[in-house]
Structure 1
Amino acid sequence: MFVSTAWAGLWRMVALTLVLLVGLGVTQPALAQADPDREAATAAAGVSPDTWRQVRSGETGPNFRDSRADSTYNLVNASGETWRQWRNRWISPFGLIAIGGMLVVIALFYLIVGRKDLSEPRTGRKLLRWPLVVRAIHWTVATLFIVLALTGLNLLYGKFVFRPLFGDGIWAAMMSGTKLIHNYLGPLFGILLIVLLARVLKHNWPKRHDLEWFKKGGGMVGKAHVDAGFANAGEKAWFWLLATVGIVVIASGVVLDFPNYGQGRDTMQWANIIHAVGALGLTAVALGHIYIGTIGSEGSFEGMATGYVDETWARDHHNLWYEEVKDQAIPEERLAAGGQPSGGSEAPTPRSG
């Protein structure tokens, strides 16, 4: 029953993601291709080498200067070219290396090491690990993260993939929809991520045994189990990565999302670079988090899908937490019969002392 419930939750998340992706192709279906004659009528005249020298030195006249809000920026400017070079020569390759490299590492790890199975058969007794409110926020944040990652990758690489395949018209509509989705869902993701981080902060403070967890590679070095409380050291590292880099990505995204609060062009360019590097790095690490939480570790997905984990899983992965709450285990048959609501308001409270 718990496995079927878990898969049902996964399929709902996949279905929502597919619906949002389909929206990328159908947003603004009436968008027409640009009229070449109209473009020619409004295009600026050719820029001569002398004008380029004036642009770089800041000596251009009013025809090449942005006069909005008393701006003194050149419409054609050297800083914009510098930003473009950083984006194309460094950020784009970094994203491909980080995300592509992580996918290769995950594939090799799965082929060589395989899934981490439980050390003993399941006991059939369950422990409440994630209450309903935490699971609801987690899956909402996870879904938004996936949508933002896909739309962000489309904004960065889409023109090299979809433009040659579909042509300018469809590609323009797709990019317009992508930008709309990314800009509007970004702030919502930021708010919910902060709520989630605050909700699980109490489980993620560093402990002395976390260092030993890293030394033993989470249990891959040596045969003995590695001590871990409610959250192991790897989960804590992911938490603090989201609490630092994630917050920076959110803040830089807000700067880009609301350009009408006085920030200059240079600020927007730096925000774009910071946002891209942070988001690409988080996406790469998130792939590892998704792998471990699904096919990489037996029983892990059930915990976030149903709220409950088997005693054997708790002993294998979070033995210190298990020792604190093991007397609160509930037989699976009792849960199936509705003896206790699935995903109550709070996870088991550790015994004092």
Structure 2
Amino acid sequence: MSISTMRAGPSRLLLMLMLVVLLASLVLAQTALAQQADPGREAAFAVPAVDADLWRQVKSGETGPNYRDSRTDSTYNLINESGETWRQIRDRWVSPFGLIAVLGMIAVIALFYLVVGSKKLDEPRTGRKLLRWSLVIRSLHWTVATLFILLALTGLNLSYGKSVFRPLFGDGAWAAMMSGTKLIHNYLGPLFGVLLVILLLRLLGQNLPKAHDLQWFAKGGGLVGKGHPDAGFANGGEKVWYWLLATAGLAVIVSGFVLDFPNYGQARDTMQWANIIHAVGALGLTAVALGHIYIGTIGTEGSLEGMTTGYVDESWAKEHHNLWYEEVKDQAIPEEQLAAGQQASRGDEPAPRSS
């Protein structure tokens, strides 16, 4: 089996996942608009027995057990001011702008692909391979990536699914869908957090900033000017993605643990701020992850095979990571020798030669 054949399956799978995200995002775009068009709908549904006179009393600022309470730890008043502040931040800012970020990234990727297209190698492949990713790193990467996609899709459903699926399928189906979504999100979240921290620690040494990273950014990763900028094992863009995961990603993990385990005495305002931090970080990372997925799959020839087989062609290494290539070029292995070694390790019989 050739290297190109081995990477065809995962490439199609990731392309299909991107299309699913695109279609889901287009549908979910109606959610933010619906929420903004009728901001009182959620409150009216939550307290349907409240009439106009009672709302006037609430609006006047009257406090008491039945009206308004300014305490953040209140759990039994009609309106809690900190809760209303959280709802306003969520509905007016986080939800609509998060969706704009995700849809905007999809639009930018689609436009870039239509105008520029996939980045092909400047030089023909040499057929000599360099080991880039070990089996342990690849296993960690694909596990974390799978969990990230599942958490992103379930998180989008938790944030926007109410206005989309409830009218389509009715209360019963919607309730079952949201129950399953919540279970998946809550139970896979901690596992994702633990594995992401392990992956970040394994890759820390390869993602420390270097002086040549500034040149990489100045040339737009090779889009500006002639020639490709210098890059070590990780280029400037990959390091930015790493440090986003190491900062915003950890904020999402910590806030997610606060939300996932409310039985450790968190105050109401702590849970509210954890929810805002979690949503902002998760939506931002989802938007950037779409760019990472595009560049690592159909956007750049030869990138995906590194994470599927562990090996990259010499031409790819020299073009995209020239400083790393100079360090390891003596370790290049002919593709035929690599394939024979993999076949021997599996104990396969050699394929018969055609006459």
Q: State whether TM-score is above 0.5.
A: yes
Aligned to 2:28: none
Asked if the contact 2:125/2:314 (under 8 Å) is kept, the reply is: yes
- Structure 2 CA distance, aligned partners of 1:258 and 1:12? 34
Q: Mapping of 1:143-222 within 5 angstroms?
A: 143-222=146-225
Q: Mapping of 1:88-127 within 5 angstroms?
A: 88-127=91-130
Aligned to 1:6: 7
Deviation of 1:59 after TM superposition, in Å, equals 2.6
Deviation of 1:45 after TM superposition, in Å, equals 6.3
Deviation of 1:49 after TM superposition, in Å, equals 4.3
- Residue 294 of structure 1 is aligned with which of 297, 300, 310? 297
User: For residues 142-188 of structure 1, what are the alpha-carbon distances to aligned partners after superposition, in whole Å with 9 as ceiling and x for unaligned?
Assistant: 00000000000000110121111111110110001000100000000
- Residue 83 of structure 2 is aligned with which of 80, 84, 91? 80
- Structure 1 CA distance, aligned partners of 2:162 and 2:289? 24
Deviation of 1:12 after TM superposition, in Å, equals 7.4
Q: Secondary structure at the match of 2:93?
A: helix
Per the alignment, do residues 335 and 82 of structure 1 end up closer, same or farther by CA in structure 2, a change over 3 Å counting? same
Tell me if 1:136 matches 2:139.
yes
Unaligned residue ranges in structure 2 (runs of 5+): 19-46, 346-355
Instruction: Provide the alpha-carbon RMSD of the alignment.
Output: 2.5
Unaligned residue ranges in structure 1 (runs of 5+): 18-42, 66-70, 343-353
- Residue 223 of structure 1 is aligned with which of 221, 226, 237? 226
- Structure 2 CA distance, aligned partners of 1:11 and 1:107? 17
Asked if the contact 1:51/1:60 (under 8 Å) is kept, the reply is: no
- Structure 2 CA distance, aligned partners of 1:189 and 1:121? 39
Per the alignment, do residues 11 and 117 of structure 1 end up closer, same or farther by CA in structure 2, a change over 3 Å counting? closer
- Structure 2 CA distance, aligned partners of 1:287 and 1:219? 20
Asked if the contact 2:213/2:235 (under 8 Å) is kept, the reply is: yes
Deviation of 1:4 after TM superposition, in Å, equals 2.4
- Structure 1 CA distance, aligned partners of 2:95 and 2:296? 28
Deviation of 1:339 after TM superposition, in Å, equals 6.1
Per the alignment, do residues 165 and 274 of structure 1 end up closer, same or farther by CA in structure 2, a change over 3 Å counting? same
Q: Which amino acid aligns with 2:58?
A: W
Asked if the contact 2:11/2:298 (under 8 Å) is kept, the reply is: no
Aligned to 1:59: 64
User: For residues 230-257 of structure 1, what are the alpha-carbon distances to aligned partners after superposition, in whole Å with 9 as ceiling and x for unaligned?
Assistant: 0000000000000000000000000000
Q: Which amino acid aligns with 2:117?
A: G
- Structure 2 CA distance, aligned partners of 1:182 and 1:130? 29
Asked if the contact 1:128/1:309 (under 8 Å) is kept, the reply is: yes
Asked if the contact 2:11/2:304 (under 8 Å) is kept, the reply is: no
Q: Which amino acid aligns with 1:179?
A: K
| Percent identity for Structure 1 against Structure 2 | 70
- Structure 1 CA distance, aligned partners of 2:324 and 2:98? 37
| Count of aligned residue pairs for this structure pair | 310
Q: Secondary structure at the match of 1:222?
A: coil
Instruction: Please report the TM-score for the alignment, with normalisation by the length of structure 2.
Output: 0.81
Deviation of 1:228 after TM superposition, in Å, equals 0.1
Asked if the contact 1:95/1:280 (under 8 Å) is kept, the reply is: yes
- Structure 2 CA distance, aligned partners of 1:207 and 1:340? 39
Q: Which amino acid aligns with 1:6?
A: R
Instruction: Please report the TM-score for the alignment, with normalisation by the length of structure 1.
Output: 0.82
